Amino acid sequence: MVVNAAVARSRYFPLLITFCLIVIFVALHNIQTVKIENVERIMLDVGNKLPGAYLRDIKINTSNEIFCKLNYGLPTQLKYTKNDLAGSPELDQDSPFQVLYDVIEGQPRQIDPGVTYATHLTKDFVMYLTEVVRQWEGPISVAAYVSDGDPKVILDSILHFCYCIPEMYKISLHLVFRKDSHPSYFSIALLQPPDTCDIQNLLKTNSDYNSLSNNSDNSHKKDIKNWYPINVCRNVARQSAYTEFILVCDVELMPSEGLANRFIRMLENQRCVEPNCDRRVFVVPVFEVATSEDPPKTKKELVRLISLNKAVYFHKYSCPHCQKFPGLEQWKTSDPGEVIKPLLSVKREVPYHRWEPVYIGTKNEPMYNERLSWEGFQDKMLQMLEMCLANYQLLILDGAFLVHWPGIKKSKRKDEPWRAPFIRRNQGYYDILLRNISGKYPRNLRCRSKR
């Protein structure tokens, strides 16, 4: 019996081993399948959060209708001469930059609120326009810097949007060039009407944008001679607006729900009767949220994310003084209801003398100093100093906000060594410009520069 049992075990042992291996293989396969599905789901979630991802679900109009008002031979070509180019708003012909205005011309409608979203971009960030046009109800003025003198990538992308997004009627587009980057006569062939609204093909041709999904930064590769003229672009976008009120901000800033319409209703209900109404602007607080979250549309959503440590005021970790505004804690706990209204009226004085608020104003405010670069920091500081010396009131809006997309920045910008030559360059101009501004106004010790 013992012998027979041993024989039986030896006979069935290979079968048992085979069965165990099959079980292990199936288990490992299932685990691997789950892992792959999780990775695919994560990749899909990431893809859905990239600017313009929603366009994959938009159907192209078979009639090839275009929603933009185009100039200079668009959409099939861009064609202009030196006579079409203008100097920059502040420095005019003394500027190293030239502007081709109204390449795409906005189309005003009576139902649109009278506030323009004035912004700037390069080809790296052109995809954000798809989000701005669907979230901002009013006109949009865009100054696009063409660093290499060839606007084809920018125009191919924006024309793609013009075929797919009806709200593109709001867009005015102006191109900013270096004087030494392009010939006086220019003509290029452009994108034909797209077969689909999905922007994947555009992404494949724009390696800078591909890096956006990896949250990488190629700024350290910048040439000191080819600095980003952020203030030229701000001035171009602002001066080109055809509404009285203008929000000058970066294209990555997504507005809260109904911001433009609610702002206009606020003005209608709270007419200013004071003698210095032309010396006031309306501050729109700026926040940033975790990459796992969609930009909130309402203050209730934003405050919930703040309570979960998934949202903070803009640049809290990378530049704490830049966007921390007076009354921040009061703002977080107040309830404006469904309207926008002023929370506080403040001045940009000590201890908020390094604050660089984003605000709704007019063309009457001082221009941005066009000799200062984005790479060298403090590019808005002198404009804010001048507004302080000119005794501007800053009304902080409750019920309105902007959200920087994507993610919360943790690294301090001043620790980036590649910026050193740009900082020195800005500092040289800064000292000269500071003396010029200070000489125009009565002395006010509470109005300080960055120091």
Q: What is the 3-state secondary structure (H, E, C) of 347-368?
A: CCCCCCCCCCCCEEECCCCCCC
Per-residue model confidence as pLDDT tens digits over 378-430: 888 899 999 999 999 999 999 999 999 888 888 766 667 888 888 888 888 88
Q: What is the side-by-side order of every strand in the sheet holding 402-404?
A: 253-255, 402-404, 286-289, 311-313
Containing structural domain, residue 185: 55-251
Query: Is pLDDT above 90 for 125?
Result: yes
Between 171 and 218, where is the model more confident?
171
Examine residue 24 and state whether it is found in any structural domain, yes or no: no
Examine residue 31 and state whether it is found in any structural domain, yes or no: no
18: pLDDT confidence band, cut at 50, 70 and 90?
A: low
Query: Is pLDDT above 50 for 44?
Result: no
For residues 310 and 436, membership in a common domain is answered with yes
Q: Which pLDDT score, from 0 to 100, does residue 389 have?
A: 94
For residues 287 and 312, membership in a common domain is answered with yes
Examine residue 4 and state whether it is found in any structural domain, yes or no: no
Q: Which pLDDT score, from 0 to 100, does residue 35 have?
A: 38
Q: Which pLDDT score, from 0 to 100, does residue 213 have?
A: 41
434: pLDDT confidence band, cut at 50, 70 and 90?
A: confident
For residues 229 and 299, membership in a common domain is answered with no
Q: Which pLDDT score, from 0 to 100, does residue 390 have?
A: 94
Handedness of CA 283, 166, 149, 176 (dihedral sign): negative
Contacts of 219 (CB under 8 A, 6+ apart): 375, 416, 418
For residues 89 and 225, membership in a common domain is answered with yes
For residues 294 and 395, membership in a common domain is answered with yes
31: pLDDT confidence band, cut at 50, 70 and 90?
A: very low
Per-residue model confidence as pLDDT tens digits over 67-111: 999 999 999 889 998 899 999 999 999 999 999 999 999 999 999
Between 193 and 133, where is the model more confident?
133
Q: What is the 3-state secondary structure (H, E, C) of the chain?
A: CHHHHHHHHHHHHHHHHHHHHHHHHHHHHHHHHHHHHHHHHHHHHHHHCCCCHHHHHCCCCCCCCCCCEECCCCCCEEEECHHHCECECCCECCCCEEEEEEEEECCCCCCCCCEEEEEEECHHHHHHHHHHHHHCCCCEEEEEEECCCCCHHHHHHHHHHHHHCHHHHHEEEEEEEECCCCCCCEEEECCCCCCCCCCHHHHHCCHHHHHHHCCCCCHHHCCCCCCCCHHHHHHHHHHCCCCCEEEECCCCEEECCCHHHHHHHHHHHCCCCCCCHHHEEEECCEEEECCCCCCCCCHHHHHHHHHCCCEEECCCCCCHHHHCCCCHHHHHHCCCCCCCEEEEEECCCCCCCCCCCCEEECCCCCCCCCCCCCCCCCCCHHHHHHHHHCCCEEEEEECCCEEECCCCCCCCHHHCHHHHHHHHHHHHHHHHHHHHHHCCCCCCCCCCCCC
In the listed set 193, 217, 251, which residue is the last one of a domain according to the structure? 251
For residues 419 and 289, membership in a common domain is answered with yes
Examine residue 422 and state whether it is found in any structural domain, yes or no: yes
Query: Is pLDDT above 50 for 2?
Result: no
Query: Is pLDDT above 50 for 323?
Result: yes
Distance CA 182, CA 54 (A): 35
Examine residue 272 and state whether it is found in any structural domain, yes or no: yes
Residue 142 in contact with residue 121, Cβ under 8 Å?
A: yes
Q: Which pLDDT score, from 0 to 100, does residue 17 have?
A: 58
The count of domains in the chain is 2
Q: Which pLDDT score, from 0 to 100, does residue 223 have?
A: 74
7: pLDDT confidence band, cut at 50, 70 and 90?
A: very low
Q: Which pLDDT score, from 0 to 100, does residue 11 have?
A: 54
The residues with which 146 forms a beta bridge, in sequence order, are 177
**What is the token pair recorded at 233?**
């672009």
For residues 173 and 308, membership in a common domain is answered with no
For residues 309 and 339, membership in a common domain is answered with yes
Q: Which pLDDT score, from 0 to 100, does residue 423 have?
A: 81
Selection from 381, 384, 350, 379 nearest residue 366 by Cα: 384
161: pLDDT confidence band, cut at 50, 70 and 90?
A: very high
Query: Is pLDDT above 60 for 362?
Result: yes
For residues 228 and 326, membership in a common domain is answered with no
Per-residue model confidence as pLDDT tens digits over 245-303: 999 999 999 999 999 999 999 999 888 767 778 899 999 999 999 998 999 999 999 99
Q: Which pLDDT score, from 0 to 100, does residue 325 have?
A: 92
At position 372, the amino acid (one-letter code) is L
Query: Is pLDDT above 90 for 28?
Result: no
For residues 361 and 408, membership in a common domain is answered with yes
For residues 227 and 309, membership in a common domain is answered with no
Q: Output phi, psi for 354, to 5 deg.
A: -115, 10
Examine residue 27 and state whether it is found in any structural domain, yes or no: no
Examine residue 196 and state whether it is found in any structural domain, yes or no: yes
Residue 239 in contact with residue 155, Cβ under 8 Å?
A: no
207: pLDDT confidence band, cut at 50, 70 and 90?
A: very low
- Tokens 């980036």 sit on residue: 416
**What is the token pair recorded at 396?**
């902080």
Examine residue 36 and state whether it is found in any structural domain, yes or no: no
Question: How large is the average pLDDT for residues 354-365?
Answer: 95
Q: Which pLDDT score, from 0 to 100, does residue 438 have?
A: 87
Query: Is pLDDT above 50 for 210?
Result: no
Residue % of the chain over a pLDDT of 90: 55
Query: Is pLDDT above 80 for 365?
Result: yes
Q: What is the mean pLDDT of the chain?
A: 84
In the listed set 251, 269, 299, which residue is the last one of a domain according to the structure? 251
For residues 87 and 220, membership in a common domain is answered with yes
In the listed set 203, 227, 251, which residue is the last one of a domain according to the structure? 251
Radius of gyration of the chain (CA): 27
